[in-house]
Structures are given as structure tokens and as C-alpha cells.
Amino acid sequence: MLVLAAINWGVLLRLADLQDAGVRMTAQAGQIKHDANLGAQAYRVVADTYINQNFDEAARKWADIHKEIDASLALADQLSNTAERRQLASQAKTAIQEIRNLYANQYLPLSKKQVTREEIGAVDDAVDKQIDKLDAAYTQLGEQLLADAKSLDREFDAIARLARLWLVVAIVVGGVVIVVLTLVIGRSITSQLGMEPGEAAVLAHRIAGGDLTQAFDARHQDPASLAGALGTMFNTLRRMVSQVRQGADLVAHSSSEIAQGNHDLSARTESQASSLEETAAAMEQLNATVRQNADSAHQANQLALNASSVAVQGGEVVGQVVQTMRGIHDSSQRIADIIGVIDGIAFQTNILALNAAVEAARAGEQGRGFAVVASEVRSLAGRSAEAAKEIKTLISASVDQVARGTTLADQAGSTMAEVVSAIQRVTDLMGTISAASVEQSDGVSQVGEAVAQMDQVTQQNAALVEQMAAAASSLKSQAQDLVQAVAVFNTGAGTGSAYSHSV
């Protein structure tokens, strides 16, 4: 039987291949015969070129028709599996190439000139000859392909007749084998049943009805018989149902506890997820605040740097003021010394004028004019002395003020130096605060990312817990269904009475 089936299968596969090949060959033969008209179509393009004198349109049509011709020649090469067919394909290629040369080198140049019909007719005749060659080559190639298709059809018919014959033989042989097997199997069943069919039916109905209350006594049965096998199956099924019922009850109880636990865990996970969302939002706000503080600290650091630079410049200016005040103080001291010299000169001049007046008085009339001059000189010396005293007084006051200004300038320089030092310390402190704020911002950002990741993981855990809760509920439902399904079988409170059978 298997051999006949394998043979029929191989025959069917061969028939399918032949049918596909025949259809394909017929279609290819039809395509080749149809392509034999491409020469005539090319000739119409040639004629339109001369008649209409529309060379651009003719060039487009010539290119389009030759795309189809190239595709047809490629198909002809593909189908040329014999020397004769390759020769026909070569003839077709030669004819097409000759038509192209005649059109490009003779017909098209003549069409653009004023020529006689005899001149253009000679080229037409040459083109017609090549078209006839192309048509003849394609026609022969198509006929050969069609002949191959018909040969495949004949082979298909022959194999189909052989397949029908094999099918009849297989049916006859199969019928004989079935009859023999029926007789052999019937005798084997009768010898191996081991009990009356009615009793077997009763036992089967009891099992189908779920009545497993009575144990089956299979000790006196042949283990290889149906009765022995049914007894073993009955007792095994009875024990198995009891165990399954106990297990189903346990699974139902456990799945109920798991479902309740998953429900509680889901609620706690959702609460934790909500708390993490609030924490993540708070961390985002804290991160924004810390980032703002870091920016403010950076700006304060820049302001402190600018203030430090200004303080340094102020200290330099104060130092220059101190140097200037010291120079003014030294100049005032020198002026005071010069005024003292002038005062001494005025005093000496007054003494000299007094002596001159005394000598003029002694001289009498001869010294009267000299006495007048001496009196004027003395008067000028007195005024010079008074002026020198006033200038000295003013210079002394100026020297005192310059001294106090110098002292104040020194104190201002010291204070400015302390201010510069303090601002420098503030600048260093603000730099430290700025760096710490940046590090704090980075740390808060990392904490925020960690909290966001924890929030995402918690959300995933919440979804997983919900899936577990759904799975636990489904398990609980399935366990209850299993308990109900097992409840169909009644195993009795004890082992029950023995169900015995003897042949």
C-alpha cells in the first residue's frame, strides 16, 4: 500500500510539473509568435518617419518599439536550448541589427532630404527583407516551442492514463488488504477482550458518569486483555481522581491566598509609586532651586571678583594719595624753612636799617637823605617780617593739616588694604560656595535621576504586580473550575465494595 501510494504521489508530482511546463511553454510560444509582429511595428515607425516628417516623435516611437524588441530578443535567447533555436535567435538579432542600421544610416538621412520615391523605396525593400527574416525566425521559433508544448501535453496524457491504471490497482489491492485486516483484527479483539462487551459497556458508562465508588477487582484477569486493562485503568483513575481532587482543593485555597496577597501588594506598590512621583516632583523643584542658587552664587562670585578688582585699584589710588600727601608735607616743610630764612633776612635788614639811621643821625645834614632811605628800608623790612610771619603761620597751619591728611591717608591706606584682604577672602569664600553649589546641583540632579529611575521601576513593578494579581485571579478561577470538574467523579467515602468479574 505504501509503495503504491508513493508511486501515485510521484506520478501526481510529475503530472503537476508537466502541466506547469506545458502552460509555460504555450505562453512562451504565444509570446514569441506575438513578437513576430514587432518587425511590422518597426516598419510602421520607419514609414511614419518619411510620411509625417515628425522626427522627434518618430525617434521616441523608435526607442519604445526597440525596448520591446530587446526584451523579446532576451526571451528568445533564454528559450534557445538547442543549436537550431540558437541559430534562429541569432538570425533574429542579425535582422534587427540590420533594420536599425538601415534606419539610422539610410532611411532617416533620406527622409530629411528631398529624394525620389525610387530612392526611398530601395531602402524600404531592404527593410522589408529584414522584417521578413525576423518574422520567419520568430515564426519558426514559436512553432518549435508550440511543438514542445504539444509534446508535453502528450506526455501528460500518457502519464495520466498510467496514473489512472495505478489508482485502480491500488483500490483493488487496498480492498483486499482491508478485508484481510478486518478478519484478523476481529479475531484478535475477540481473543483479547477478556469480558463480555455488555459488561465493558456498563463499566465505561460508570466511568463516563463519574461513578468510581466501587473498586474493580482485576486480579483474576489477564493483564494483556481488555478486562485487565480496564480494571487497571479504573483503579488508577479512581486513585488519580482522589489525588487530583485533594490537589485542586489545595490549589484553590493557595491561589485565593496568593490573589489576596497580590491585591494587598498591588495597593502598597501603587501607594509607593504615588509617593515616589511626589518625591520626584519635589526633587525636580529642589534641583531647580539648587541650580538657581548655584547660578546666584556664580553671579555673586563674579561680583566679588569685580569688587576685589575695584578695591585693589582703590588701594593703589589711596597709596598714590598717601605718597602725594607725603610729598606735599615735605614741600611744606621746605617752604617753612625758606620762610624762616626770609624772616631772618628781614630781621637782619631791620637791624642794618636801624644802624644806618643811627649813623645818618650822627652825620647830621649830610646823612638826612640816607636816613630817609634807611627809614624806608626799615619800614620795608618790617612789612617783610610781618608778611613772613603771616606766611609762616599759614604754612605751619598747612603743614599741620598736611600732616593730619597724611596720617588719615595712611590710615585709609591701611583700611583699604584690610578691605582688599577682606574682599579677597570673600571672593575665595564665594568661589568655594559657587563650587559647592555646582557640586550640590550635580548631586541633586543625580538624586533626581535616581528617584526618577526608582519611580519608573516602581511603575513597572506596579504593572507587574497587577499582572500577577490578574494571573492569580485567573489561577483561582481555573482552580475552582478544576474542583468543579473533578467533583463529577464520586470516589465514595472509603474504598467501596469490590466490583469483580471473572471470565
Is the confidence at residue 2, as pLDDT, over 50? yes
Q: Pick 332 or 22 by higher pLDDT.
A: 332
3-state secondary structure of 423: helix
Sign of CA dihedral 432, 438, 443, 444: positive
What letters, b where the CB count within 10 A reaches 16 and e where it falls short, cover 477-488? eebeebbeebee
Distance CA 323, CA 315 (A): 12
pLDDT tier, 18 (very low <50, low <70, confident <90, very high otherwise): low
Helix (H) or strand (E) holding 161: helix 117-193
Q: Say which DSSP state 365 is in.
A: G
pLDDT tier, 264 (very low <50, low <70, confident <90, very high otherwise): confident
- Per-residue model confidence as pLDDT tens digits over 63-95: 666 777 777 777 777 767 677 777 877 777 787
- Per-residue model confidence as pLDDT tens digits over 446-493: 877 877 787 787 778 778 777 877 887 787 788 778 777 767 667 665
Distance CA 123, CA 131 (A): 12
The predicted pLDDT at position 312 comes to 76
- Per-residue model confidence as pLDDT tens digits over 341-373: 887 887 888 787 778 778 777 777 777 776 777
CB 37 within 8 A of CB 69: no
Query: How is residue 315 written as a grid cell?
Result: 588701594
The residue type at 148: D
Give the CA distances from residue 318 to residues 329, 408, 422, in Å, rounded to whole numbers and listed in that order: 16, 10, 17
The predicted pLDDT at position 317 comes to 76
The predicted pLDDT at position 207 comes to 74
- Per-residue model confidence as pLDDT tens digits over 178-236: 877 777 775 666 556 566 667 667 777 777 777 767 666 655 566 656 666 766 776 77
Query: How is residue 281 written as a grid cell?
Result: 516632583
Q: Say which DSSP state 364 is in.
A: G
Please give the biggest Cα pair distance in the chain: 203
CB 12 within 8 A of CB 163: yes
- Per-residue model confidence as pLDDT tens digits over 128-145: 787 778 777 777 777 777
Q: Say which DSSP state 495 is in.
A: S
The residue type at 244: V
User: Domain map of the chain by residue range?
Assistant: 2-189, 277-473
Query: Directed axis angle between helix 368-486 and helix 226-363, to 10°?
Result: 170
CB 170 within 8 A of CB 1: yes
The predicted pLDDT at position 197 comes to 67
Choosing among 1.10.287.950, 1.10.490.10, 3.40.50.2020, 3.20.20.120, the CATH entry for 277-473 is 1.10.287.950
Question: What value does the CA radius of gyration of the chain take, rounded to a whole number of Å?
Answer: 66
At 493, phi and psi to the nearest 5? -70, -35
User: How many residues are there in the chain?
Assistant: 503
The predicted pLDDT at position 129 comes to 82
Q: What's the average model confidence in pLDDT over 253-263?
A: 76
Distance CA 252, CA 205 (A): 29
The lowest-confidence range among 10-19, 135-144, 255-264, 325-334 is 10-19
3-state secondary structure of 167: helix
- Residue keyed to cell 627809614: 375
CB 26 within 8 A of CB 125: no
Q: Pick 417 or 15 by higher pLDDT.
A: 417
Is the confidence at residue 166, as pLDDT, over 60? yes
